[in-house]
Structure formats: structure tokens, C-alpha cells
Amino acid sequence: MAFFIKKTDKTESEIISKLPTHIAIIMDGNGRWAKKRGLPRTAGHKVGAEAFRSIANYAKSIGLKYLTVYAFSTENWKRSEEEVDAIMGLLERFLREAIRDMDKNQVRFCFFGDLTRLSPALQAEAAEAVERSKQYEGVQVNLCLNYGGRAEILRAARIFAARCATGEAKPADLNEAAFSELLWSAGVPDPDLVIRPSGEERISNFLLWQSAYSEYYFTDTLWPDFGPRDLDLAIEAYNKRSRRFGGVK
């Protein structure tokens, strides 16, 4: 909570008003975290899931409105069956526990991605998490599962093309706002800040449309080690940026 209580010449409301509305995180570095310790990659995913739980609760406590996390990409199916199964098992467990602890944590869940490729059990849990948490008004956590920015844009294009084919829409009707409403992220404002831990400096197919004007923050910290203090540091760095959106300040 350093972010709220730090001594500064600005008033508290000025600081709070600079809390981003929407933070997105590429939860990367689990495998390297495990390797450094001589553990199997899956051990890194397990600790990574804990890091996510603690960041989601912290995000709620500081009053963040939206937290979007990249948990499994459309490209991650290329990994060994053993690793994919382990990640899916952890996701199932994570969702079961999130549903169990829902009243305590009061986090609203949403999912971005093509969930139809996931196991029926995982799909059922995701649907239950969305349904049971829609009443909460604090933070909304968007969990990206089998998510790819390109897949998301293609899907939106297909939906719109199908509407044109039936005569329900015309090509000239399409604008940026209307297109955004066809994405998995419909209704969610674009991320203000995109964080990538683990030292990689690329977006790996994450929120391609939505991050057009996002601020990026890269850190060498590996995701399993990423804690509230790291989120504070990212927010502090964000506060020093000058967002111009193509204009002049």
C-alpha cells in the first residue's frame, strides 16, 4: 500500500486519481523461476498461480477497477502435453478455490479467449465463476485463457462479416467503438498499463487491439516472485509517464 501513504507534495486524491483504471499483466517467467531452483517447470506454474492470487487481492485492496492477466496463450499449446496438462490442472484448482472463497474475496471474474478448447470441467468452472461473481462491484479480473490477440481480432472480423452477409449490418457501419464491442474484452476500457515481468520485452500476442495506447512496463522479476511491492513500482513508473495519445501536452 506504499502507493497511498507515501509522503509527497501532491494531495492524496491527486495520487489516487492516477491509479490506472485497468492494468494488464503477462504472467511470464514461471519456467525460469523453477529452473533456477532445479525444480520442474510445473513447480513454477504452481507458485505463479499463488502470485496471481495475491496480486488479484492486492488489486482489489487498492481500488483497481480492472486487472487482466495472460494465463495461457493460443501458442502455449505447443508445449509438452505434460506441461499443458499441469497448467490446466492448476487452472481448474485455482477456479475451484476462487469459487469456494468468492464471498470472502468478492472479485468479479471474466474470461477472454476461446474457452471451447478447454476441458468441459474447466469450461463449467469458468461459467460458474462468471455467474456467481457478477454481483461484486470491486475489481474485475479478466483471465485470458487460450487467448491470442490475433485470434480475438479475427473472430470479431468474422462476426461482423457474418452480419454483413445476412444484411444485418453494412461495412460502412463498422468503426473502432463498434469493433471493440465484438472483442472478448467488450465493455472493458483499454488497459492503461501493461506489465511484463521476466525480462522479455515483447507482447507475445497479448491485447493487440486494446493496447494501442497503453504504457508498457518491463521488469526482470520473474512472475512467481512478483508481489504487491512490484505492482507498486509499476504504478509509480506509470505515474511518471506523459500520455499524449498522439496529441501535444
What is the set of active-site residues?
28, 76
Which position's Cβ is nearest Mg ion? 28
Considering CB distances under 5 to 8 angstroms, the limit depending on partner class, which of Mg ion, ligand IPE, none binds residue 148? Answer: none
**Residue 75 near residue 149 (C-beta atoms within 8 A):** no
* Contacts made by residues 130-137, CB under 8 angstroms, sequence distance 24+: 132/99, 132/102, 133/102, 133/106, 133/107, 133/108, 133/109, 134/108, 136/106, 136/107, 136/108, 137/108
User: How distant is the alpha carbon of residue 236 from its chain centre?
Assistant: 19
Q: Which stretch binds ligand IPE (CB under 6 A): 155-163, 182-190, 196-204, 226-234?
A: 196-204
**Residue 68 near residue 142 (C-beta atoms within 8 A):** yes
By the rule CB under 6 A, 32 interacts with ligand IPE: yes
Question: Which one, 28 or 215, has the nearer CB to Mg ion?
Answer: 28
By the rule CB under 6 A, 219 interacts with ligand IPE: no
Where in 42-61 is the site for ligand IPE (CB under 6 A)? none
DSSP at 9: S
Q: Which of 28, 190, 192, 230 binds Mg ion (CB under 5 A)?
A: 28
By the rule CB under 6 A, 72 interacts with ligand IPE: yes
Residues 6+ apart with CB under 8 A from 198: 28, 29, 32, 220, 221, 222, 223
As measured in angstroms, the least distance from the Cβ of 28 to ligand IPE is 4
Number of residues that bind ligand IPE (CB under 6 A): 17
Q: What residue ranges bind Mg ion (CB under 5 A)? A: 28
Q: What residue ranges bind ligand IPE (CB under 6 A)? A: 26-32, 70-73, 76, 87, 198, 200, 202, 204
